[in-house]
A and B are shown apart, each in its own frame.
Chain A
Amino acid sequence: MNRKIHLTVNGTARAVEVPTSRTLLDCLRNDLGLTGSKEGCGVGVCGACTVLLDGKMISSCIALAVSADGHEVTTVEGLGGDERLHPVQQAFIDAGGFQCGICTPGQVVSAKALLDAIPNPTDAEIREWMLGNLCRCTGYYKIIESIRAAAQRSRA
């Protein structure tokens, strides 16, 4: 029960054969070697596996890889690299928006999606958007500050 699927991952066309039961998260991590997205809860609650599907954030741990066939996926690896960080990534560094780091790829991808949708969010909008990304180090204030800083920077 394998199936060949075609994805555009971080701008690159990829073809991969997967069992129908493969989650998108496992496909990204194990078939495509993109281990930035993490599995936390495995039930769509914690946000560690957040990726963008056609620009919209989803939980890749409860998405089937086959359901992404023909679509565009953006992971944290697609936002920036060591040479050039995405403004959201730089803001998380500058404002101390992470502690242990396990939730950070999901936080950064969600924050990017937020600023794509609402370039200048209020704190209430940041909180509502990000409430699905848990940080068990509880660094929430710094995360909100990071997003605020990233929004300001992109306005400047």
Chain B
Amino acid sequence: MNAFEYAAPRTLDEALAVLGEHGDEARVIAGGTALVTMMRQRLVSPGYLVSLRGIHGLDRIEAANGDLRIGALVTHREAETSPLVRERLPVLADTFRRVASVRIRNMATVGGALAHADPNQDPPVTLIVLGARLEIRSAGGRRELPVEEFFRDYYESALEPGEVVTGVIVPRLPAASGAAYVKFLPRTADDYATVAVAATVRLEPDGERCRTARVALGSVGVTPIRARAAEALLAGQRLGAELLSAAGEAVEGAVDPLSDHRGSAAYKREMAAVMTGRALTQAWDAARASSRGTR
């Protein structure tokens, strides 16, 4: 690992000031699972690390105006086991639970993993279909950005120098809605997905036809991918084999996987369609249950 300066500020303002001062040379560190690993492999060699670990107030999970706000320093394990997350958005707790191992989930933070912008991660796709927004702070102020618009390329995000992800805000699922996360893992349980799909389905008042659906996929491109063409096919329709097959075809056209040790591009493309069908079926079932519950 290269030599670097290390600052452990006690307040966010102090951290933002240090970041502003050091510009591109500085990197933010929280849990360190991604950054230290990349530094050990000499993929990155920052001259200055600004640790957020000592900053109070970024490690809270709270309900606000019907939304769930998860602070950037909340660990994956804390998010997964939080009664508030489990009760409000079980799909999100289940998604965090699929990340790596308990040990890594004890270290990796929700904000840090998002800022890392690795397209193979689990939480981004679920956050995208839930319509989550990132809360971003800099010395100049605060902005919110839909998670969907955050990812630009492999390990590249919309974060500007001097900006820090401070939290993620997740709206409630609307009534008569269901959500699912499906992670295809043919190798080991702690691996990155070969293909990952998150889906939400919101039903019409008849409790059967789809009003709107959202589908997002991970591990099949340089960013998480929202499959809008597939979503458009689903609106107004009833669940059935033909519809799922059409949605799967649309997904195959939207993804752009790489061949690697987890499978060839052609295999992943086909599995993206299969997993989309499974995710939609699960989300649809959950939506029906939710619809029955409200009638």
Chain A residue contacts of B107, Cβ below 8 A: 44, 58-59, 62-63
How far, in angstroms, from A59 to B29 measured CA to CA in the complex? 16
The stretch from B4-12, B83-91, B203-211 touching chain A is: B4-12
Q: Kindly name the residue among B8, B37, B49 whose own CB sees the greatest number of chain A CB atoms within 10 A.
A: B37
Q: Which of A91-143 contact B (CB under 8 A)?
A: 110, 128-129, 131-132
Q: Does B271 contact A (CB under 8 A)?
A: no
Q: Mark A38-70, 1 if CB is under 8 A from B, else 0.
A: 000011110100100000111101111011010
Q: Does B295 contact A (CB under 8 A)?
A: no
Q: How large is the interface on A (under 10, 10 to 19, 20 to 34, 35 or more residues)?
A: 20 to 34
- Name the distance in Å between A33's Cβ and chain B's nearest Cβ: 22
- Say yes or no: B6 contacts A59, CB within 8 Å: no
Given contacts A44-B37, A67-B32, contact A57 B102 (CB under 8 A): yes
Q: Which of B56-81 contact A (CB under 8 A)?
A: 77
| Interface secondary structure of A, over-half rule | mixed
- Say yes or no: A20 contacts B101, CB within 8 Å: no
Q: Mark B96-112, 1 if CB is under 8 A from A, else 0.
A: 00001111101100000
- Name the distance in Å between B22's Cβ and chain A's nearest Cβ: 14
Q: Mark A138-156, 1 if CB is under 8 A from B, else 0.
A: 0000000000000000000
How far, in angstroms, from A131 to B185 measured CA to CA in the complex? 14
How far, in angstroms, from A44 to B6 measured CA to CA in the complex? 22
Chain B residue contacts of A1, Cβ below 8 A: 3-6
Q: Does A80 contact B (CB under 8 A)?
A: no
Q: Does A23 contact B (CB under 8 A)?
A: yes
What is the interface size of chain B, counting residues whose CB is below 8 A from a CB of the partner? 29
- Say yes or no: A44 contacts B33, CB within 8 Å: yes
Q: Does B294 contact A (CB under 8 A)?
A: no
Chain B residue contacts of A67, Cβ below 8 A: 8, 29, 32, 51, 53
- Say yes or no: A43 contacts B40, CB within 8 Å: yes
- Say yes or no: A58 contacts B103, CB within 8 Å: yes
- Name the distance in Å between A44's Cβ and chain B's nearest Cβ: 6
Contact of A128 among B8, B39, B102, B188 (CB under 8 A): B102
How far, in angstroms, from A142 to B189 measured CA to CA in the complex? 20
- Say yes or no: B3 contacts A19, CB within 8 Å: yes
Chain B residue contacts of A129, Cβ below 8 A: 102
Q: Does B270 contact A (CB under 8 A)?
A: no
- Say yes or no: A21 contacts B37, CB within 8 Å: no
Shortest Cβ-Cβ A-B pairs, 10 listed? A132-B101, A21-B1, A20-B6, A62-B36, A56-B106, A132-B103, A1-B3, A57-B103, A131-B189, A43-B37
Residues of A whose CB lies within 8 Å of any CB of B are: 1, 3, 19-21, 23, 42-45, 47, 50, 56-59, 61-64, 66-67, 69, 110, 128-129, 131-132
6 inter-chain pairs at a CB distance below 8 angstroms, sorted by A residue, are A3-B6, A43-B37, A43-B40, A45-B190, A67-B29, A67-B32
